[in-house]
């Protein structure tokens, strides 16, 4: 890596570099489909939290353990996934991830029959373990599927399909999991006296099963399609280079990479926490029914998807670091409104944060991978491990909400996260401005 005053001709050459080289469209579309696929279970969790509070009669903090179990799977399996991809290649990572994903989905049936909340947490852990393999393999794969100069745009484009899956997940959850039955305390007491309350809770629990059985079947079909696909030659060459040359200790020398891990940890915590308690926020301050609140959540995901596509376009005109700074500070302002003016206006403000958070995960990821060379796959696995932020910040938001008796107050944690992300974006803007590009991408 050479640090110097940027060469204007080199910068122009990188800006004009192709998003996708010839011969890779099939692989790009197939792996981009995975971004859509794992968006579904990620945001079904937001529905599950509310459903489990009802069907198991548990607190917000206990329901928040859904995200803890889910993102613990990401944390524990991301590094083994990175090592598998390094030694056996991307296809092994994709296949392992999809098989684990499907297995976890099928475990929802025995979990429901058992009537035990902990078994659902175990099934979610298996699902997340599979997604850890998929994300660890997919993000670096897309980032390396073309010129380094367009890696942020390429990854944002692929990630833009993730919120479409997320929207589908919330719609499926709202339609097929939420029954629309919301009992009052008096109705619960009457049902307990009549001995029908336990049966009601079991019926509510069984509503969770069918969407996951369908999702597991789709994962198996996708695994077959990937197994039958031949990846580009230059990707296989890079896999071989990583296998013989990678050394994780070298990653400690890259300060921009270490900062990216911190930023990713905070971003995922902010995103997951914001969405996990959005339904509760809407119910607390606008008294919306659960199905209406669930549909409001789909609007946040729509804003998220619109933001992903918009940022992909905007990066052709503005530096990713500058754009992410503006987006992060915009979310700070919106969350101030959501915290201090809860109600209809606050709901709108929290909803809009999804538009501005949209570019952060893929942009932080692509920025963190720059210059890692043979250690790209291992670096990607560590960035995926940073998803553990969702498991830590979400229950912390639940504790703040319970302690202060205010869901709005818990949104201060995402606010602080966006402040740090804005600092990271400025750091990367200066870092990239000092890089001289000495080579061009070759296939």
Mean pLDDT, rounded, for 328-337: 97
Would you mind telling me the total number of residues written for the chain in this entry?
443
pLDDT band at residue 150 using 50, 70 and 90 as cut-offs: confident
DSSP 8-class letter at 177: I
Closest to 264 (Cα-Cα) out of 365, 335, 358, 367: 365
pLDDT band at residue 208 using 50, 70 and 90 as cut-offs: confident
The per-residue pLDDT for 270 is 95
Mean pLDDT, rounded, for 16-20: 69
Angle at 332 between CA 327 and CA 336, to 5 degrees: 145
pLDDT band at residue 92 using 50, 70 and 90 as cut-offs: very high
Mean pLDDT, rounded, for 9-31: 69
Tell me how far apart the alpha carbons of residues 70 and 132 are, in angstroms, rounded to a whole number: 10
Token pair recorded at residue 263: 């930023």
Distances (CA, A) of 9 to 18, 239, 385, 410, 440: 16, 31, 37, 48, 12
214-255, pLDDT tens digit by residue?
A: 999 999 999 999 999 888 776 666 554 554 455 667 888 888
Mean pLDDT, rounded, for 274-301: 82
Tell me how far apart the alpha carbons of residues 165 and 40 are, in angstroms, rounded to a whole number: 5
Residue 328 reports pLDDT greater than 90: yes
Percent of the chain at pLDDT above 70? 89
Residue 436 reports pLDDT greater than 60: no
DSSP 8-class letter at 3: B
Residue 443 reports pLDDT greater than 60: no
Tell me how far apart the alpha carbons of residues 76 and 388 are, in angstroms, rounded to a whole number: 9
Residue 293 reports pLDDT greater than 80: no
87-101, 142-156, 384-398, range with greatest mean pLDDT: 87-101
The per-residue pLDDT for 218 is 96
The helix or strand, by DSSP H or E, that contains position 141, with its residue range, turns out to be helix 117-143
Mean pLDDT of the chain: 83
Task: For residue 43, count CB atoms less than 10 angstroms from its CB and return exposed for 0-12, middle for 13-18, buried for 19 or more.
Answer: buried
The per-residue pLDDT for 7 is 42
User: CATH topology for 13-433?
Assistant: Growth Hormone; Chain: A; (1.20.1250)
Closest to 132 (Cα-Cα) out of 385, 392, 394: 385
Tell me how far apart the alpha carbons of residues 365 and 308 are, in angstroms, rounded to a whole number: 14
Residue ranges per structural domain of the chain: 13-433
12-16, 62-66, 77-81, range with greatest mean pLDDT: 77-81
Map tokens 């960035």 to a residue: 383
Tell me how far apart the alpha carbons of residues 37 and 32 are, in angstroms, rounded to a whole number: 9
Percent of the chain at pLDDT above 90? 31
109-149, pLDDT tens digit by residue?
A: 999 888 888 899 999 999 999 998 998 889 888 888 877 77
Mean pLDDT, rounded, for 292-315: 84
Residue 391 reports pLDDT greater than 90: no
Mean pLDDT, rounded, for 402-429: 93
The per-residue pLDDT for 102 is 97
DSSP 8-class letter at 406: -
The per-residue pLDDT for 246 is 55
pTM assigned to the model? 0.74
Residue 412 reports pLDDT greater than 60: yes
Tell me how far apart the alpha carbons of residues 412 and 97 are, in angstroms, rounded to a whole number: 34
Distances (CA, A) of 265 to 97, 154, 268, 330, 372: 22, 22, 6, 19, 19
């Amino acid at each position: 890596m050479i640090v110097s005053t940027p060469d204007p001709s080199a910068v122009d050459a990188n800006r004009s570099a192709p998003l996708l080289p010839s011969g890779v469209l099939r692989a790009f579309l197939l792996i981009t489909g995975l971004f859509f696929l794992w968006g579904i279970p990620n945001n079904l969790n937001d529905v599950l939290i509310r459903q489990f509070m009802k069907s198991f009669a548990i607190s917000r903090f206990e329901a928040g353990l859904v995200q803890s179990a889910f993102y613990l799977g990401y944390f524990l399996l991301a590094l083994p996934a990175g090592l598998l991809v390094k030694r056996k290649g991307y296809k092994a990572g994709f296949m392992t991830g999809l098989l684990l994903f499907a297995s976890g989905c099928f475990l929802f049936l025995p979990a429901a029959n058992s009537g035990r909340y902990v078994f659902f947490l175990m099934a979610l852990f298996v699902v997340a373990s599979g997604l850890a393999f998929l994300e660890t393999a997919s993000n670096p794969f897309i980032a390396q599927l073309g010129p380094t100069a367009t890696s942020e745009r390429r990854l944002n484009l692929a990630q833009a399909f993730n919120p479409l899956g997320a929207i589908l997940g919330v719609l499926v959850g709202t339609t097929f999991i939420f029954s629309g039955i919301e009992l009052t305390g008096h109705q619960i007491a009457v049902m307990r006296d009549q001995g029908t309350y336990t049966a009601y809770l079991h019926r509510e629990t069984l509503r969770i099963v069918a969407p996951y059985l369908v999702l597991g079947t789709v994962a198996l079909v996708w695994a077959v399609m990937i197994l039958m696909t031949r990846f580009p030659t230059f990707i296989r060459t890079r896999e071989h280079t990583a296998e013989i040359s990678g050394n994780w200790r070298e990653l400690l020398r890259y300060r921009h990479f270490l900062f990216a891990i911190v930023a990713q940890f905070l971003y995922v915590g902010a995103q997951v926490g914001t969405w996990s308690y959005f339904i509760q926020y809407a119910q607390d301050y606008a008294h919306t029914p659960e199905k209406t609140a669930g549909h409001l959540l789909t609007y946040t995901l729509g804003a998220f998807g619109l933001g992903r596509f918009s940022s992909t376009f905007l990066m052709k005109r503005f530096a990713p670091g500058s754009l992410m700074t503006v987006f992060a500070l915009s979310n700070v302002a919106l969350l101030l409104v959501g915290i201090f003016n809860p109600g209809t206006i606050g709901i709108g403000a929290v909803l809009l944060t999804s538009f501005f958070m949209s570019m952060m995960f893929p942009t932080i990821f692509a920025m963190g991978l720059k210059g890692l060379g043979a250690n790209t796959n291992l670096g990607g696995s560590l960035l995926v491990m940073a998803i553990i932020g969702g498991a830590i910040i979400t229950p912390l938001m639940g504790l703040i909400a319970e302690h202060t008796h205010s869901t709005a107050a818990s949104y201060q944690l995402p606010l602080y996260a966006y402040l740090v992300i804005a600092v990271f974006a400025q750091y990367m803007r200066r870092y990239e401005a000092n890089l001289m590009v000495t080579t061009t991408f070759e296939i």
